[in-house]
Amino acid sequence: MTHQQAQELVRKIIRARDRDELQKIISENVSACDGVFFAELEAVVEQFRAKNDEASARKLKEVGDFMARLRFMI
């Protein structure tokens, strides 16, 4: 996955309107997620923390952890 693809996927995850949309995004993309994606996701988590938005940081981190479990258990 390129950095641009990873950034776009993180944006899609953040913009998901509800749980169903989020699940669809994850299921369609989890197999392509690699180190580039997870590094990009972690960078965005840190950006949220730098803005003192701990709630968003925590939610995105939880989604990332879930995706990592899915990705590496397959």
Task: Please report, for the chain, the start and end positions of each structural domain, with discontinuous segments joined by +.
Answer: 3-73
Confidence of residue 10 (pLDDT cuts 50, 70, 90): very high
- Res 74: pLDDT: 53
> Degrees (nearest 5) of the Cα angle 17, 18, 24?
95
pLDDT tens digit string along 37-66? Answer: 999 999 999 999 999 999 999 999 999 999
**CA-to-CA dists, residue 12 to 21, 30, 33, 73, angstroms:** 10, 13, 14, 23
pTM score of the predicted model: 0.88
Closest CA to 45 of 59, 33, 30: 59
